[in-house]
Amino acid sequence: MKKLTIMVLTALLLVPSFVFAQGSSEKDGNVTINFWTHEDTNRQAIEDGYIAEFEAANPDVTVKATRQASKKMIELIQTAFAAGEGPTIFNLESNNANPFVQAGRVAPVKYEALGYKDAEDMKSHYIDGMLDPVTYDGDIYGIPFEGLSWCLYINKNVFKDAGLDPEKDYPKTWEEMVEVSEKLVIRSGDIIERRGFDFRYPYYLETLVPMVNQLGGSLFSADGSEAIIGEEAWVKVLTYMQNWGPNGLNLGSPTYKNARKLFNNNNNDIAMAMSGLYQEARIKSDNPDFYNSGEWMVVPFPVWEDAVADTSASFYGQFYMVNADESEKTQQKAWELIGSMLSHEQEYLSEVNLIPPTKELMNSETFKSMPYAEVFEGDMERAHHLYFGKNATEVQSLLSTAVNNVMLQNMDPEQAYQELKASVQELVDED
Amino acid sequence: MSKQPIKHYSIEKKQARWGFFFTVPCLIFFAVFSFYPIISAFVTSLSDKQIMNRTSEFIGLENYKYLFTKSNGGFSLLNSMRATITFTLGTFIPMVVVSLIIAVFLMQLRKTRYRGFFQIGFYLPAVLSSVVAAAIWMIMFDPRGIVNQTTNALLNTAGKDYGWLVNSTMLQFSTMVVYFWKYIGYFVILFITGLATIPPTLYEAATVDGSGKWSNFWRITLPLLKPTVLLVSVMAMLQCLKTFSTQYMFVQGGTSRPPIDVITMNIYFTGIKHGKLGRASAMSIILFVIMLVLTVVQFKISDSDDVDY
Amino acid sequence: MNKFVGKITVAEALIWVILALVLCFTVLPILFMLVASVMDAKQILAMPFRWIPSREYFTTSDRTWLTNFHKAIFGNNNNPVFLRNIANSLIVASTVAVTTVILSALCGYGLAKFNFRGKNAIFMSIMATMMIPFEAIMIPLYIVTANLHMMNSYRGLIVPFLVTAFGVFQMRQYLLTFPAEFIDAARVDGLGEFRIFLSIVFPNCLPVISTLAILSFRNQWDNLLWPLLVSQSETMKTIPLYLSKFAEEKQTDEGAMMACALIASIPMFILFGALSKYFLGGAAVFESRKG
């Protein structure tokens, strides 16, 4: 009897693993498109609609859309490709997209499916430099649904609370940034309760490199053989970061909460944060009262007082790409799907505040009528494209180590600079 | 599979076939999901395979040479070994010592009911998943969080930021605290079981001889518990070497990576994030060898632990 | 009362104090999770921290003590996928617990009570897999899983963990001390080998089976790394994955995160409450390896 009970129990418990199994069986002639994209509730809402429309118009196509956390996208997609199970369509930002293009893992754009004559025609529709990370040997391998650079969001309430006039006193230079933040910060002992501004920490290619560029330094020499150029500029920026951190003036640190997300709450704990145009939509959905109150504004990316180059936060794109391992037919359908989604570029902008970076859209009424559109446009014009070379991910990690070294471990900026240079140089020499 | 008895086989032979037959399902499983992957990892470690590339070349022991001489893009294997060893020593030694003491204390309690109560209380953290544990502690380690407040209250240093997740020493300490917190109850129970096997008659005899509790501990408890202590130590050590979740969650939460860049995490980042599969596989094999050596030591210990009571 | 106090010596009092302190250390963080799960971020990081949330806090119009739980379950798009994730974790963990027990009992029995050529080699090689850290074989394993078309499915989450070397080892050690007379007697009675296993050996392993089942259940409940790679769609994710994502996407909302952590811990607490004997007995089984 006992035996029987055990066997029945076992069978019962084993059943789910087979019943719930979701094997992907493909019928002949039908196309299954696995569509992976990063999580964005606002965008998901409109894209799901476009996908349904596309499926209705193409009964032989099934689209399986999956959303991933944006930080995890690159890891998941890389492993999937390594196992030969890459998704049909996926999106990645400039620096992560480029390696896929270089390695030949993604398929060139089917221009006619997107309504372009050829590569040149497509290129001319997008703002200059935008398609560089996905251009290889004259062909284009991805299409951006978003192109952006970050500006400075300001909470007027906090400024007023500290007795400042946001319209007049907002920081235009990095030096002013420290002064203003000093006035805004509230501490209890060494512990910060309200920050003036804080950086977007792991994203140093986006913000730290332009700060160095402004001072005349750069990541690589023109021919790419030497890394971390301009000792003075790098040391100055690293010293600035050290001063910013808990071992210096104690204005912020990577271990405090993400400034950009705190910003929306309007809880009097952060006055300034760095973000793209999409932040406007996020404020609107997270905290409509704050959005409508007009107590926030957007100002340009600060510049050093003694800057030698005027540049703002690097701009980058989010590119839809198509797996080169898919059959011709699937690729064709995939590009058609992307084309049909992006034909709604006005809605991407008006509903989700993402800017598909076409020249037409940037000049459209829809764009011009967005709050602070002129600030974003101005910054985009003076920005460079984010560094997207082969080792971009590693360079990003190394920049992170350098900043953590000075900010958290209180390392001498000169030494941090030397270590950074040596490790990035090692990456360069490896190739 | 054949159930037909084959006449000319002896009973032993027939039984032997059954024995083998019982182990076959597991054997097949391990072949597919353990042996093949580790062999595959070894083969990969001899190549320059990168996650994005379709092809790779055989480069012999280059990856191993590289790992011991170069910095692996700023996250060197040597630093990872340092981080892993620091974490392991800093965690398992206090864990073994403290849990032994607690276990001995618990055995002194008069009623097993009290003992059970404490045991359950100590064990509770082990019930939580590591992700939950890391999430709780990360909030508590915030500069404004409760750990910093308590430290300030205890040390009478109002308003000081101890930088639990900032300063590299504190950061390493914090990961140890989380791990220690999570597993202390488990090890207490291991020791209690060990202590329970010591016959009470030994203590009675010693007490009759006029020996005090303190000397009983040194003269009877500890020598008899030696095998358990050794076994638990090696087991704790092996567990600490494999630590991943706590460090991973902390780094995701914005702490700096090098101080707590344990080998497993370096493998994950080098292989999955930076796509250097060959190099990550070489690290895996190195970790495997370390654990192999330690486990052999463990087996040697458990083989020689016959104690006569 | 007096009689009781009178019996306690100084040393005993000291022991009680020390044990109580350790108890605070282990239990307070869990209590913190409980309390924080009804607070908002501002209260959680308030200085000084109030263990009992003030009453006026809940009387505001936009908050009740359920607000965090609502956020934890429904996220910000009213999609209760968290509940599905809990179900996934339960399915995966309980299936693995059952298969581990059956397969390790089978294999452990074979290794403990039979003599056949290559037995030692098989035993040693199974033991060797104990030393393979999961991170080391993550990628090859992923490729195997993909080739078997098990990505993004329950099979993908379950099959690589069907049995563990540790389980086989425990079963073998336990069964080494199992009296051979029982088995021989059954053979004399003419029972088949498989029937002997099912009706005599397996039912007699209950203590080790229950601890092993709990251990396997726990490990899968805890597993983060593998689902991170294998579960791609929202509906196939497990709890640790949902939690780690929650920590990442909503960094500002500690309250909701703690509510989430609490809900995720409830099944384990229930299991622990019901089977604490076996949880705590886990060590006993571990010790039996000396056999």
- Is B132 a residue whose pLDDT tops 80? yes
A–C: how many Cβ contacts below 8 A?
Answer: 98
Domain at B80-303, CATH from 1.10.240.10, 3.40.50.300, 1.10.3720.10, 3.90.1150.10: 1.10.3720.10
- Is A242 a residue whose pLDDT tops 50? yes
* CATH number for position C129: 1.10.3720.10
- Is C281 a residue whose pLDDT tops 70? no
- pLDDT digits 0-9 by tens, C112-139: 988 888 888 888 888 888 878 787 788 7
Helix, coil or strand: residue A247: coil
Residue at C3 is within a domain: no
CB contact residues (below 8 A), chain A span 58-87, against chain C: 64, 66-69, 71-72, 75-76, 79-80, 82-85
Subunit contact A71:B272, Cβ cutoff 8 A: no
DSSP state of C51: S
Confidence bin at C61 (pLDDT 50/70/90): low
Residue at C180 is within a domain: yes
Same domain assignment for residues A327 and A377: yes
CA distance C251 to chain A (A): 7
Same domain assignment for residues A117 and A35: yes
Same domain assignment for residues A74 and A211: no
What residues of B are in contact with residue C132 (Cβ under 8 Å)?
Answer: 34, 37-38, 288, 291
CA distance C95 to chain A (A): 6
DSSP string of B186-219, one letter each residue: HHHHHHHHHHHTS-HHHHHHHHHTT--HHHHIII
Q: How do A270-275 and A191-197 pair as beta strands?
A: parallel
Number of domains in chain C: 1
Give the chain C residue whose CA is nearest to the CA of B286. C136
- Is A199 a residue whose pLDDT tops 60? yes
Q: Compute the 3-state secondary structure of chain A and give helix, strand, coil in percent, each to the nearest 5.
A: 50, 20, 35
What tokens were used for A216? 């005349």
Per-residue pLDDT, A245? 92
What tokens were used for C240? 């640790």
The distance between the two most distant Cα atoms of chain B, rounded to a whole number of Å, is 86
Whether residue A78 lies within 8 A of chain B, CB to CB, comes out as yes
pLDDT, averaged across chain A: 88
Distances (CA, A) of C132 to A37, B242, B284, B285, C216: 34, 10, 9, 9, 17
Per-residue pLDDT, A135? 94
Same domain assignment for residues A339 and A364: yes
- Is A418 a residue whose pLDDT tops 90? yes
Whether residue A14 lies within 8 A of chain B, CB to CB, comes out as no
Residue at A219 is within a domain: yes
For C24, the enclosing helix (H) or strand (E) is: helix C10-36
Per-residue pLDDT, B64? 95
pLDDT, averaged across chain B: 85
Residue of C29, C134, C280 lying closest to B119 (CB–CB): C280
Whether residue A4 lies within 8 A of chain C, CB to CB, comes out as no
Number of domains in chain A: 2
DSSP string of B80-133, one letter each residue: HHHHHHHHHHHHHHHHHHHHHHHHHHHHHSS-HHHHHHHHHHHHHHHHS-HHHH
8 A C-beta contact, residue A98 and residue A389:
yes
Residue of B21, B32, B121 lying closest to C26 (CB–CB): B121
Spatial CB neighbours of A369, under 8 Å, sequence gap ≥ 6: none
Same domain assignment for residues A132 and A269: no
The candidate with the shortest Cα–Cα distance to B242, out of C242, C225, C284, C172, is: C225
Subunit contact A401:B255, Cβ cutoff 8 A: no
Per-residue pLDDT, C28? 95
CB contact residues (below 8 A), chain B span 175-204, against chain C: 181, 184-186, 189-190, 192-194, 197
- pLDDT digits 0-9 by tens, A369-391: 999 999 999 999 899 999 998 78
Residue at C228 is within a domain: yes
Write down which chains contact chain B via at least 3 CB pairs under 8 A.
Answer: A, C
8 A C-beta contact, residue A387 and residue A209:
yes
- Is B85 a residue whose pLDDT tops 90? yes
Residue of C47, C142, C203 lying closest to A2 (CB–CB): C203
Per-residue pLDDT, A393? 83
Subunit contact C106:B22, Cβ cutoff 8 A: yes
Same domain assignment for residues A294 and A192: yes
Residue of A6, A36, A69 lying closest to C249 (CB–CB): A69
Taking residues B288-295, report their average pLDDT.
84
CA dist., res. B234 & res. B126, Å (int): 19
Tell me whether residue A70 is exposed, middle or buried, using C-beta atoms within 10 angstroms of its C-beta: 0 to 12, 13 to 18, 19 or more.
Answer: middle
Same domain assignment for residues A181 and A209: yes
CA dist., res. A131 & res. A139, Å (int): 10
Give which of A85, A198, A201, A255 to mutate to test C binding, by max C Cβ within 10 Å. A85
CA dist., res. C185 & res. C179, Å (int): 11
* CATH number for position A333: 3.40.190.10
Whether residue A8 lies within 8 A of chain C, CB to CB, comes out as no
Q: What is the dihedral of CA C40, C43, C44, C47, to 10 degrees?
A: 160
Spatial CB neighbours of A415, under 8 Å, sequence gap ≥ 6: none
Residue at A5 is within a domain: no
Q: Please, what is the Cα angle at B4 between B2 and B6, to 5 degrees?
A: 110
Subunit contact C248:B252, Cβ cutoff 8 A: yes
Same domain assignment for residues A191 and A284: yes
Per-residue pLDDT, A19? 38
Of A21-25, A225-229, B136-140, B298-302, give the lowest mean pLDDT range.
A21-25
- Is B103 a residue whose pLDDT tops 70? yes
Subunit contact C146:A84, Cβ cutoff 8 A: yes
What residues of B are in contact with residue A191 (Cβ under 8 Å)?
Answer: 143-144, 148, 159, 161
Per-residue pLDDT, A190? 86
What residues of A are in contact with residue C153 (Cβ under 8 Å)?
Answer: 20-23
Same domain assignment for residues A97 and A137: yes
Tell me which residue range forms the domain holding A114. Answer: 31-148+315-382
Give which of C280, C285, C289 to mutate to test B binding, by max B Cβ within 10 Å. C280
Tell me which residue range forms the domain holding C89. Answer: 82-252+276-290
- pLDDT digits 0-9 by tens, B59-71: 999 999 999 988 8
The structural domains of chain B, with segments of one domain joined by +, span: 80-303
- Is A66 a residue whose pLDDT tops 90? no
Q: What residues pair up with A32 in beta bridges, in sequence order?
A: A62
What tokens were used for A255? 């271990």
Residue of A191, A192, A393 lying closest to B274 (CB–CB): A393
CB contact residues (below 8 A), chain A span 153-192, against chain C: 188, 191
Per-residue pLDDT, B226? 82
Tell me whether residue A389 is exposed, middle or buried, using C-beta atoms within 10 angstroms of its C-beta: 0 to 12, 13 to 18, 19 or more.
Answer: middle
Same domain assignment for residues A272 and A361: no
Subunit contact C116:B16, Cβ cutoff 8 A: yes
Residue at A10 is within a domain: no
Whether residue C236 lies within 8 A of chain A, CB to CB, comes out as yes
Whether residue B127 lies within 8 A of chain C, CB to CB, comes out as yes
Residue at C268 is within a domain: no
Confidence bin at C252 (pLDDT 50/70/90): low
Q: What is the value of pTM for the model shown?
A: 0.86
CB contact residues (below 8 A), chain B span 207-266, against chain C: 213, 227-228, 238, 241-242, 244-245, 248-249, 252-253, 264
Subunit contact C286:B193, Cβ cutoff 8 A: yes
Residue at A377 is within a domain: yes
Q: What is the dihedral of CA C85, C87, C93, C94, to 10 degrees?
A: 180
The candidate with the shortest Cα–Cα distance to B190, out of C170, C284, C171, C290, is: C284
- pLDDT digits 0-9 by tens, A149-190: 999 999 999 999 999 999 999 999 999 999 999 999 999 888
Same domain assignment for residues A422 and A338: no
Taking residues A307-313, report their average pLDDT.
94
What residues of B are in contact with residue A81 (Cβ under 8 Å)?
Answer: 51-52
The candidate with the shortest Cα–Cα distance to B175, out of B287, B251, B271, B79, is: B251
Residue at C260 is within a domain: no
- pLDDT digits 0-9 by tens, C224-243: 889 888 887 778 889 888 88
Taking residues B259-282, report their average pLDDT.
90
Residue at A199 is within a domain: yes
The label of the residue with tokens 């994030």 reads B273
Confidence bin at A13 (pLDDT 50/70/90): very low
